[in-house]
Amino acid sequence: MSYLDLTIREIHEAYIAKKVTPSQLVFEAIRRAKANCDNAFEYIAEVEAIDEANKLGECETENFLWGIPFVAKDNFSTKDIPTTASSNILNGFIPLFDATVIQKLKNKKAILIGKTTLDELAMGGTGTTGHLGTTFNPFDPTHKRMIGGSSCGSAASVSAGIVPLALGSDTGDSVRKPAAYSGLVGMKPTWGRISRFGVFPFAPSLDHVGFFTRSIEDTALVLEALAGRDEQDSTSSFYEVVPYHALLQKPATGLKVAIISEINNSKHCPDIIKAFDELVNRLGSQGMAIDRVHMRKDLLEAIFPIYITIASAEATSNDANLDGVKFGPSYWGKTYNDAMNLARTNGFSELIKRRFIIGSFALMQENQEKLFLRAQKGRRLLVEELHKILGSYDLILTPA
C-alpha cells in the first residue's frame, strides 16, 4: 500500500517520522494521475507540483496540510493553469489569479497536482457531459457504473488513490452524490462557510464549495483550513471558525437525530434502505436518540422542480458572458448576434442548451411570477420546514 492510500493525518504522521517526503509523494501522485484510466483529469500540473514539492523545507508539525497533494475541480480559478469547466467554450482560458480556497491551501503548503473533470459548467449529476467524455468510477474497472457528478473527476481521483484531498463544488448534489458512489466523505458546508471567490458560478444562491476526503477527521481538518470570512466574497460568513476536529472528541450520547419517514421508505432501493436501517440501529446503540418525523409530501415532491427552475434561471444569467467575445473561441458573423449564436451553438453541449432554455423560459416577463418567483417561495417553505425539524433535533439523517 502506498502512502497516497492513507488519510491526511496518517500522511502527516509519516512526514514527521521522515518515512516519506513530499517530493516522493508528489512524484507518485503524478505517476498515478498519468496512469489513470477513469478520465479524471483535465490537466496534470507536473512541472508546477514538482517545483513546489522541492521548495518545501522541514515538516511543519502543527500544519496537517503541509506537503499534502490535492486536486481541484476544473471550475476553480488557478493562476497560469488552464481552467475550462470541462466546456469547449472555455478551451484555452488561463486565469490570472487563484480562487481563495486554492490560495488558502497553497498558504498551508499543500501541493496542487492537477485539475479534474466535471459535468460541463458543473451542470449535471452523471459525470458524462464534460467535453472530454465520461468520467468512470474507480470501483468498477468494467466502466459500467457511473461515479456521479458534477464533481466526478475530483471524487475519482481520491477514490483511485491519487490524492487524499480533492476540491469540488455542490449546487444540487455534486459533491455528496459522487462521494456516496465512490465510498468517500463528501462535504457540502453551510452556504457561505467557505469562500466562492474564483469559483465559476453556476447558481450563486445554491452554489457551495465542498471537498472529498477519506475520513471524517480529515474533513474536519480541511474545513478548519478553508472556512472563514473572505472580503472578496460578500456572501461569505462572518461566523467564527471553530476547531472542528476537536468537536469529534465529544461523546455522541444524547444527540437527537431526526429521520424523515417520507424520504426513507423507498421500495426502489432495498439494499440502500437496509444499510441505512443498520446504521440507524448502530447509532441508537451508541446512545443517540432517534425519532422518525414527517415532512409535507407536496414540499418533498417539489424539491426537484424548485431546484431546476432556480438553478437554470441563475445559470442562464451567469453564463451570458460566454459569448465567443469575452470568453471562448470566436466565430465570424455579419452581426454580433450571428457570431454569438455560432459560438454558443458550437461551444455548449445539448444538456447546457436545455438548461439555458429552461432558465430563459422561467425568466421571461410573463413567466417570472408563476415560475421563478414561485420556485423561490417554494424554497423558502422548504427551508422553514427543515428549520422546524432542526429546532427540536441536532441533525437530520438521510441516505445519500
Supply the DSSP string of 342-356, one letter for each residue. Answer: HHHHHHS-HHHHHHH
Q: Which of 222, 247, 272 is the last residue of a domain?
A: 247
Q: Which of 223, 247, 271 is the last residue of a domain?
A: 247
Same domain? For 145 and 128 the reply is yes
Same domain? For 242 and 256 the reply is no
What gap in Å lies between CA 57 and CA 61, rounded to an integer?
Answer: 12
Match 466523505 to its residue by C-alpha cell: 185
Report the chain's terminal Cα–Cα distance, integer Å: 29
Spell out the SS3 assignment of 185-248: EEECCCCCCECCCCECCCCCCCCEEEEEECCHHHHHHHHHHHECCCCCCCCCCCCCCCCHHHHC
Same domain? For 52 and 148 the reply is yes
pLDDT tens, per residue, the chain with 400 residues: 799 999 999 999 999 999 999 999 999 999 999 999 999 999 999 999 999 999 999 999 999 999 999 999 999 999 999 999 999 999 999 999 999 999 999 999 999 999 999 999 999 999 999 999 999 999 999 999 999 999 999 999 999 999 999 999 999 999 999 999 999 999 999 999 999 999 999 999 999 999 999 999 999 999 999 999 999 999 999 999 999 999 999 999 999 999 999 887 666 688 888 899 999 999 999 999 999 999 999 999 999 999 999 999 999 999 999 988 888 788 888 898 898 899 899 999 999 999 999 999 999 999 999 999 999 999 999 999 999 999 999 999 998 8
Same domain? For 172 and 290 the reply is no
Q: What torsion, rounded to 10 degrees, do the Cα atoms 107, 109, 115, 117 define?
A: -90
Same domain? For 257 and 356 the reply is yes
Torsion over CA: 109, 101, 349, 186 (sign): positive
Whether omega before 215 lies within 30 degrees of 0, making that bond cis, reads: no
pLDDT of residue 324: 86
- 86, 87, 150, 159: which is the annotated catalytic residue? 150
Same domain? For 223 and 79 the reply is yes
Same domain? For 229 and 262 the reply is no
pLDDT of residue 265: 67
79 catalytically annotated: no
Domain of residue 148: give its range.
3-247
Q: In CATH, what number is assigned to the domain containing residue 42? A: 3.90.1300.10
Domain count, the chain: 2
Same domain? For 229 and 292 the reply is no
- 157, 174, 195, 236: which is the annotated catalytic residue? 174
Same domain? For 208 and 310 the reply is no
Same domain? For 255 and 204 the reply is no
Residue 68 vs residues 71, 330, 377: alpha-carbon distances, Å: 10, 39, 43
Q: Which of 247, 279, 309 is the last residue of a domain?
A: 247
Residue 300 vs residues 68, 257, 263, 277: alpha-carbon distances, Å: 40, 19, 8, 21
Same domain? For 393 and 312 the reply is yes
73 catalytically annotated: yes
Same domain? For 117 and 172 the reply is yes
pLDDT of residue 400: 80
